[in-house]
Amino acid sequence: MPKIVKERFTDQLGGGRLALPSLVQAFDAYVAQSFDQRSKEFVETTEQQEEVKERSLLADPLLDYLADPTLRDRANVLRGVDLRVRRGRSYESLIDDLHQLSANIALKICSGRAVSVDRFDFVLWIALLVAWTPSLRSVATEGHDGAIHPNEFLQIVDQLLRDFATRQTSDGRDRLAGVWDRIGDVSRAPRDNDQDELGLEQCLVELLGRQGTYEPEWVVRLRAIFCLDETQLLAASPTPSGSGHDEGRFSARLFDEIVGRDAAVAAVKERFGAARHTPLFIYGPDGVGKKTFARAYARAFMCTGRAEADYLSCGRCGVCMAFDNGVLGYVELEGAAHGSSLDSVRGWLRDMKYFRAFAERNAVILENPERAGGLIDTLLKTLEERHKATLFIACGREINSLRATGVSRSEVHRFARLSNADAESLVARFCSHYGQRLLPGPVLDLVLEKGGGLPRRLAEACANVCGGTVITAEDAGKVLGFGWIGGVIATWTSLLGATWTEPSTLISDHEGASLGVADQMRATLTHIAPGNVGREPALPSWRRHSRALTHLADEMAKRAASTGQSYDSLWGRLSAFWCLDHVDLVGQRQAFMETRRILRGNTQWAA
């Protein structure tokens, strides 16, 4: 057997000379590729060469396509995928191949080697691959009657490639518009360390690196999701400086300033009365006020000037005066930054021991506990047993952000979105910071809609409205991101006309656009659904366009009658097309052309 290895390896080198370390590395790699660990036999040379050939049929076109997305290169990528499917490759292994090939390109870019792909274009590709991987895996695992036809898998890959081409050539500021939710879902999903998505996320972290002098806004937003810049790392580090946890000008500092959390505030009152501060777990959507509540609790818990049973901080002691700038004993941890390794937990406990020597009480707030893994249970148990003067608060998005053992050791509160009455009260407080006591009714309705019951969004909406020159509801609609509604209604009206001219600008270029093309088109269809025709829209942003929606519904009825269809049937066919996932990716012109065919009654899309 050694003789066979020597002969084959010599043939592969082809007489070339290598330094000893490189030779050893090349030899080890060759043996790993040529030796089957299960059968303990060498793979036939022809099989190995065929595998290399098949892989190159996918790798080379993919690199060419990412550098310059042409129709020919896209076809070559799909041909490479189809060939490997028909030769017995599993769909899961093909997904892994796409990940591995992308990781190899990322490694070349990060190491400074010459690659024809632009850095930001490749960041876009990795982000889209992250967003599309769940769809690829769902097709690979579900199938029909236990089998999957190659064209089903190829269709998803084709949509991914088209999506990249559309966004890569887009002149819009946000190249990832419409997929941020999917990217966020993947980044937040709990996974085992051996899942391949972790490798893609690491590629993004390496590619993004440190912030440059100029970066598009969508790249900055990606960095905030997958990695932390230097300022954020300082904020997440368990240091007593506290420079990273400025509460902001709007955050409540005392419990009597918190709006809409009466049950949670009452529970905290009982805790102070009984001098019992077990771990607390708060979960709810981002921006709902979890961290504001946790900070108010930590401030009161650490206050040295209040009575033991008082749940309000005094505002005069050294802790209260310095809390906003950071005090010894108060720590904010970020699960994504500190990870789930045993060293992280040991470091947290070591910090607690250090702070305990300088502070009478300690408070720990942990965000995103789902990213800290199961070892967070060890931290909870240790704090519960050894640190009676330590308050621990976890803030997650969902109830399963904390494992069952952690939940069992904690008092759990769910923070839902605020009611309209509570949101209106909060808006009045925010506006008072700008010297404005009351917003006009139509403007207030738009602010409440934009806020969606989330204090953070309400604060941002108030800043946009009160901090500018907003006078009318139309002005408010523009600054709050509702300016696209009139434009998309006009686009639908144009499509329903006898003749149609392709618009000179994309729908997403309409002033204030905050949704993707398909989302805008779907939203309009919803408001002219058969059950909604003649009704006033529920949302204030659409209520301003009631007359235009009524006219659009009338035009739809005329078009249906002229083609021998019912209104319900025509609306159903349009919905069937625009509700498909791929319409975001085929490009606006193709989608509009298909819509025109549906309106003429010539289409494959059935209701």
Say how far apart CA 481 and CA 515 lie, in whole Å. Answer: 9
**What is the per-residue pLDDT for 89?**
77
Write out pLDDT tens, residues 333-387.
Answer: 777 655 556 666 666 666 566 555 556 788 888 888 877 665 566 666 666 655 5
Q: Which CATH architecture has domain 234-414?
A: 3-Layer(aba) Sandwich (3.40)
Say how far apart CA 115 and CA 46 lie, in whole Å. Answer: 30
**Range in 224-228, 245-249, 587-591 with the lowest mean pLDDT:** 245-249
Say how far apart CA 73 and CA 62 lie, in whole Å. Answer: 7
Token duo for residue 244: 């990273």
**What is the per-residue pLDDT for 237?**
37
Whether the Cβ atoms of residue 397 and residue 286 lie closer than 8 Å to each other: yes
More confident residue, 400 or 5: 400
578-589: average pLDDT: 66
Whether the Cβ atoms of residue 327 and residue 240 lie closer than 8 Å to each other: yes
Which range in 57-71, 422-436, 551-565 is most confidently predicted, on average pLDDT? Answer: 551-565
- DSSP one-letter string for 335-390: HHHH-S-HHHHHHHHHHHHHHHTT-SSEEEEEE-GGGG-TTHHHHHHHHHHH-TTE
Q: How confident is the model at residue 567 (pLDDT cuts 50, 70, 90)?
A: very high
Say how far apart CA 157 and CA 135 lie, in whole Å. Answer: 10
Cα of 351 vs its chain's centroid, Å: 31
Whether the Cβ atoms of residue 127 and residue 176 lie closer than 8 Å to each other: yes
- 0.75 exceeded by pTM: no
Nearest to 606 by CA among 582, 583, 579, 584: 579
Residue type present at position 12 = Q
HSE at residue 140, side-chain half, CA atoms within 13 A, is 16
Mean pLDDT of the chain: 74
Show Cβ contacts of residue 545 under 8 Å, excluding neighbours closer than 6 positions: 485, 486, 489, 537
Whether the Cβ atoms of residue 304 and residue 339 lie closer than 8 Å to each other: no
Rg (CA), the chain: 29
Q: How confident is the model at residue 131 (pLDDT cuts 50, 70, 90)?
A: confident
Show Cβ contacts of residue 60 under 8 Å, excluding neighbours closer than 6 positions: 76
Say how far apart CA 474 and CA 462 lie, in whole Å. Answer: 15
Write out pLDDT tens, residues 91-102.
Answer: 888 888 888 888
CA distances from 123 to 90, 154, 187, 516, 598 (A): 27, 23, 15, 20, 37
453-477: average pLDDT: 83
Nearest to 233 by CA among 210, 216, 251: 210
Matching residue, tokens 């009480």: 361
